[in-house]
Amino acid sequence: MRATFLTATVLQIVLSTSFYASAQSQGQAGGGSLPTESGGAALIFRKPDNPPLHTGAGKSSGAAGGGRLSGPAKARAAEAAHERVIAKANAARNAPTPRYSEAEEQYKIAAKEDPNDARALMGLGNVYLDQGRFNDSVNAYQQALKVKADYLDVYQPLAYSYVRLGKYDDAAATLKQALQYDANNAELHNNLAFAYVHAGQYNNAIPSAQQAIALLGKTGEAYKQELQVRKEVLSNAYKNLGNAYNELKQYNEAADALKHAAEIEPGNAAAHFNLGLALYNGRRYSEAIEAYKAVLQLKPNLAGAHYNLGLAYVAINDKDAARREHDLLKPLNAGMAAQLQTLLK
């Protein structure tokens, strides 16, 4: 079976992201893909909130008798006006049909009024991120951090913007910096592992994923922000760990990590798929078959799973079962079916 393993091209599912962490997994070496609802993303992120308003601002009053404002009263009036600009920008972004041009204009006004208010720059970055203008969002978020280096809410969307630009090294550097201010945030460690995997820094990804898992097992610290349910982040951390081990050809370790992910989220097709890949790469073909069967219970028409299941059957010399997968695959993806057919002659 060794020659078969070397000539067959295993279809890999690479965990990636689409906008606001919908879980798109894009196929390689054959073109298969998992739909967005499969839960394949290993990066935890959501649409960032608007910058907060300062409570109490906007309550300043004019001088008694209608005289001119001066001193502290004048400063309070300016602060109140500034807060109204940010509130207007926030409202435009949050409208049922977002008014991004208006929001952008108002955040820019606020940033010009007070160059030391990082909130306006963060809001501007959010507007750009919403529209997929990731180069612009990077610039705005970077400016916000120049004003306020410990503005933790900026780091995740900045890192996400870098990910969407394919700048994984920059995303990793951003997340490492965020951990200086929030060292026990499991989401940050998980996302750092994701960035390292995609940057090809697999040895760095492993301790980051392991730290996320350790934190989640002990304290659940990340959930003080109530961003995600615990099991989702834990599953993603195991996926990142498994993907790093798989790239390092440590297939048994990869399989162990991905088994945890599949156990935590049994309805996650991507976890089962990548488990099958690790098992196949480790030549544990019978176990790989069970993993791909689990995928197909969730996604019966996923061509890549039929293809890889067929390869696993070929590897154990069960060509009758492989032919059944070929027949199921042919109406789904004729090209993949033709590749599998070459191994069945």
Number of domains in the chain: 1
For the CA atoms of 246, 251, 255, 257, what is the dihedral angle to 10 degrees? Answer: -60
Instruction: Give the Cα separation of 205 and 201 in Å (integer).
Output: 6
Does some domain include residue 276? yes
Query: Exposed e or buried b for every residue in 245-260, given b needs 16+ CB within 10 A?
Result: bbeeebbebbbbbbbb
Radius of gyration over every alpha carbon of the chain, rounded to an integer in angstroms: 25
Structure tokens at 286: 């019978």
pLDDT classification of 9: cutoffs 50, 70, 90: low
- Burial of 299 by CB count in 10 Å (0-12 exposed, 13-18 middle, 19+ buried)? buried
Does some domain include residue 117? no
* pLDDT digits 0-9 by tens, 297-338: 999 999 999 999 999 999 999 999 999 999 999 999 999 999
* pLDDT digits 0-9 by tens, 15-26: 333 222 222 232
Does some domain include residue 310? yes
Does some domain include residue 138? no
Does some domain include residue 62? no
Per-residue confidence (pLDDT) for residue 74, from 0 to 100:
73
Does some domain include residue 313? yes
Structure tokens at 51: 């910058």
Instruction: Give the Cα separation of 167 and 158 in Å (integer).
Output: 11
Q: Please give the residue that has the higher pLDDT: either 65 or 309.
A: 309
Give backbone dihedrals phi and psi of 26, rounded to 5 degrees, phi first.
-100, 135
Does some domain include residue 203? no
Q: How far is C-alpha 263 from the chain's CA centre?
A: 20
Read off the CATH number of the domain in which 344 is found: 1.25.40.10
Q: Please give the residue that has the higher pLDDT: either 136 or 56.
A: 136
pTM of the model: 0.82
Instruction: Give the Cα separation of 26 and 47 in Å (integer).
Output: 22
Average pLDDT over residues 167-180: 97
Q: What is the residue range of 272's domain?
A: 1-44+229-345
Per-residue confidence (pLDDT) for residue 3, from 0 to 100:
30
Does some domain include residue 37? yes
pLDDT classification of 1: cutoffs 50, 70, 90: very low
Instruction: Give the Cα separation of 218 and 330 in Å (integer).
Output: 48
Lowest mean pLDDT across 2-11, 85-94, 106-115, 249-258: 2-11
